[in-house]
Structures are given as structure tokens and as C-alpha cells.
Amino acid sequence: MKTLNRYIGMRVTAGVALVLTALLVLFTFSDFLGELEDVGKGHYTVGLALLYVLLTSPRWLVELFPVSALLGSVVALGTMANANELVVLRGAGLSVARITWPVLKAGAVVMALVLVFGEGVAPKSERYARDLRAQAITGQATLRTARGVWTRYAGGYLHIGEVLASDRLGDVTVYERSGGDRLRRWVHAQRARYERGRWLFEGVRLVSYLPDGLRVQSTPQMYWPLPLRPGELKRLVIPPDDLSVPALYDYVRYLRRTGQDPGRYALALWRRVSLPLISATMIVLAVPFVFGSLRAVSIGQRVVVAALVGIGFQLLQQTAGQAALVYHLPPALGAFAPAALALLLVMLLWRRAY
């Protein structure tokens, strides 16, 4: 029986790996074509675009795994069905549940490897790739952390604690240099907004470093020549893909504690948490596609139907997540609702097939 389990597990593992690799190559190549539009901006070359795409490819492993688990399992079991191997197993007295068990175990092993790689490598690789791309295009070095953004410009350094909107900032600190590493002025603003081509600082505290001492000033408002335009703020916001699950959890708590909306980060967190359940559901969903009709349907038809179901599930997952954000529903509902519907579909198909 161990030999049988190993054989089924190896077939399913090979099928999932094959589909996952094919989808990864397809989506990575699509990303590369999209990056070619920005080649030539600043110092962004074709080589850097290719490096950026390769560094961001680990993210696709996690996002594509549920669909790959469904398609790979259908391919593996469908191949066995076409070779009459499943008919022999059923004739030998093995139940569908007994055959499903090694399929689920094989999928769980691959899923564990993908999750470990996705949590350990993907966030760091994604963050490094985005910073490398932004620096090549804009010429400015940027460090994004869960407690704000650091960026360097010709006159000094800038720290932004919160990006409140496309033209509004919070907790802004400017460090101006006077040549070399000497500090000339330190400016802190509670808020900043972009109006009429300039940044208006509010709640300002200004410290000037003079030869004979310090001069401290406070003012409700003042304009300041920040080397930053509203359109560039998007690259300063930390995307959820740049954070691991523990970092997402800490960042959601930080946003709530500071009175900011944690919606899309909380949604990303719950999606990561729900991934094992969704992946297991996709693997089990593959079984009715094969055992429902072992001989009447070709493997190509099974794969097409499974692909349509997988694409439909991806669209449902995106729609449910966006609906949760728009209508201010709990992010956990937007993440787990598609999984619950997929489980209902599994129960329905199993009941109709058997």
C-alpha cells in the first residue's frame, strides 16, 4: 500500500509542478513584456527589467499554486484514468476516498514547500526588486519599512511616516545637509499636502544648525520644496506583497493603532492565512472531474473544464476581496467566502458523482 501511495503521490506532484512551472513562465514573460514599456526611463535597462521580473517571480508561485494544484491534479489523475489505472484500482476494492488521500498528501507537501519559499524568499525579493527599479528610474535611493519610508535626494534625506493619500503625507521629517555629512536644518511636519505645485507643511518645527548654536522655530504652516510629486508616492507605499505573514500582522496592528485604514493589508493577511484551505479544496475538487466519468471524457476536456473553474475561482476571489474593501466588510469574509463556496462546489460534485 505504501508503494501505491508513493506512486500516486509522485504522479500528482509531477503534475502540479509541471502546471505551476508552465504558468510561472507564462506570467513572468507577460510581466517582462510590461516592463519593456519603462525601459529607457532613467537608467532602467533591459537587463534590469529582466532582473526585476526574475526577482518578483517568487510571488507568482504563491498566487498561482491553488489553480496549479487543481490543474496538476486533474492532469495526473486524468492520465491515470486514460491508462485505465484508476479502473484497476477501483476494481481492486479501493474507494475514491482511499485514492484521494495520497493525492491530498502530495499536494500538502508541495504546498508546504511553496509556502516556505513564498514567506521566506518572496517578500524580501519583491522589496529589493521594487527598490532597485525605483532607484534606476528616478535616480533616488529609497528604503521602505513598516514604520515609514526613507529616501535620499540631492540636498539631504527625507523620512515619511505615513502616506495618507496621493497628495497627503503624515509625520514628515527633512534632514538638509550643508556639504559633506554636516546637518544644516532639521524640519518636522505633522502633516503635508500638495497644492499649487508645492508642499504645504502643517504643524511645523524647524531646527537650524548655526555656527554659534541652534535656532528652533515653530509655525502652523509653511511651504517647503520637497523633491517629490504626488504621482511618485505610489512607489513609496509598502505593497502587501513585500511583507511576510508576521510582518503583515504587525503592520495591520500599526495601522490600526495610528488610526489608518488597514483594509487591503488585512485582506492580504487573511488571504495568506486561507491559502492552505483553498489549496486543499482545489486538490479535492480535482477528484470529481476524473472519477465522475472515467472513460467518457478525454483528459483535454477535463483540463479545459478545470481551467475554467480555476479562472472563475480567481475572479471570484478578487471580486470578493474588493467588495469587502468597498463595502467595509470584514477582510476575513472577503478572503474565506470564496473558499467556502469552493467547498460547497466540492460537496455538490462529489454527491452528484457518487
Under a CB-based contact definition with an 8 Å cutoff, are residues 162 and 171 in contact? yes
Q: Are residues 335 and 265 in the same domain?
A: yes
**Domain final position from 194, 212, 237:** 237
pLDDT in tens, 67-88: 999 999 988 988 888 888 887 8
**What is the model's pLDDT at position 222?**
92
Residue 152 placed within a domain:
yes
**What is the model's pLDDT at position 82?**
81
- Mean pLDDT of the region 225-251: 76
**Domain final position from 208, 237, 266:** 237
Q: Are residues 115 and 58 in the same domain?
A: yes
Which helix H or strand E contains 324, and what residues bound it?
Answer: helix 299-326
Q: How far is CA 345 from CA 39, 199, 314, in A?
A: 45, 53, 15
Provide the pLDDT confidence category of residue 235 given band limits of 50, 70 and 90.
low
What is the rounded CA–CA span in Å between residue 288 and residue 14?
Answer: 20
| Structural domain count, the chain | 2
Q: Are residues 9 and 109 in the same domain?
A: yes
Residue 137 placed within a domain:
no
**Domain span at 157:** 147-237
Q: Are residues 100 and 44 in the same domain?
A: yes
**What is the model's pLDDT at position 305?**
81
Q: How far is CA 279 from CA 7, 11, 67, 106, 311, in A?
A: 21, 17, 8, 12, 14
**What is the model's pLDDT at position 145?**
65
Q: Are residues 86 and 108 in the same domain?
A: yes
Under a CB-based contact definition with an 8 Å cutoff, are residues 86 and 102 in contact? no
Q: Are residues 151 and 78 in the same domain?
A: no
Residue 303 placed within a domain:
yes
Nearest to 275 by CA among 125, 121, 114: 114
- Mean pLDDT of the region 222-230: 82
DSSP string computed for 256-310: HHTT---HHHHHHHHHHHHHHHHHHHHHHHHHHHHHT-TTTS-HHHHHHHHHHHH
What is the rounded CA–CA span in Å between residue 266 and residue 251?
Answer: 9
Q: Which grid cell sits at 190?
A: 505633522
Angle at 278 between CA 252 and CA 74, to 5 degrees: 150
Residue of higher predicted confidence among 237 and 214 = 214
Mean pLDDT of the chain: 84
**What is the model's pLDDT at position 64?**
92
- Mean pLDDT of the region 167-185: 83
179 pLDDT above the threshold of 80: no
pLDDT in tens, 36-68: 998 998 889 999 999 999 999 988 988 899 999
Q: How many CB atoms lie within 10 A of CB 289?
A: 24
Strand partners, 193: 168, 200
**What is the model's pLDDT at position 146?**
60
Q: Are residues 249 and 287 in the same domain?
A: yes
User: Which DSSP category does 234 fall into?
Assistant: G
Lowest average pLDDT, out of 13-17, 244-248, 283-287, 295-299, goes to 295-299
Q: Specify burial of residue 102 (Cβ count, 10 A radius: 0-12, 13-18, 19+).
A: buried
- H helical segments located in 43-95: 46-82, 85-91
233 pLDDT above the threshold of 80: no
Residue 142 placed within a domain:
no
Total residues belonging to the chain = 354
- Mean pLDDT of the region 230-251: 76
Q: Are residues 37 and 104 in the same domain?
A: yes
Q: Are residues 19 and 93 in the same domain?
A: yes
**Domain final position from 237, 257, 291:** 237
Lowest average pLDDT, out of 48-52, 98-102, 279-283, 291-295, goes to 291-295
Nearest to 290 by CA among 83, 48, 54, 3: 83
Q: Are residues 256 and 121 in the same domain?
A: yes
Residue 140 placed within a domain:
no
Q: Are residues 123 and 9 in the same domain?
A: yes
Residue 74 has, within 13 A of its CA and on its CB side, a CA count of 28
Q: Are residues 12 and 116 in the same domain?
A: yes
166 pLDDT above the threshold of 70: no
293 pLDDT above the threshold of 60: no
**What is the model's pLDDT at position 184?**
87
- Mean pLDDT of the region 349-353: 70
- Mean pLDDT of the region 328-336: 91
- Mean pLDDT of the region 139-147: 63
**What is the model's pLDDT at position 86?**
80
Residue of higher predicted confidence among 253 and 50 = 50
- Mean pLDDT of the region 158-163: 82
- Mean pLDDT of the region 234-246: 75
What is the rounded CA–CA span in Å between residue 221 and residue 39?
Answer: 40
Q: Which grid cell sits at 38?
A: 519603462
228 pLDDT above the threshold of 60: yes
Nearest to 167 by CA among 225, 229, 226: 229
294 pLDDT above the threshold of 60: no
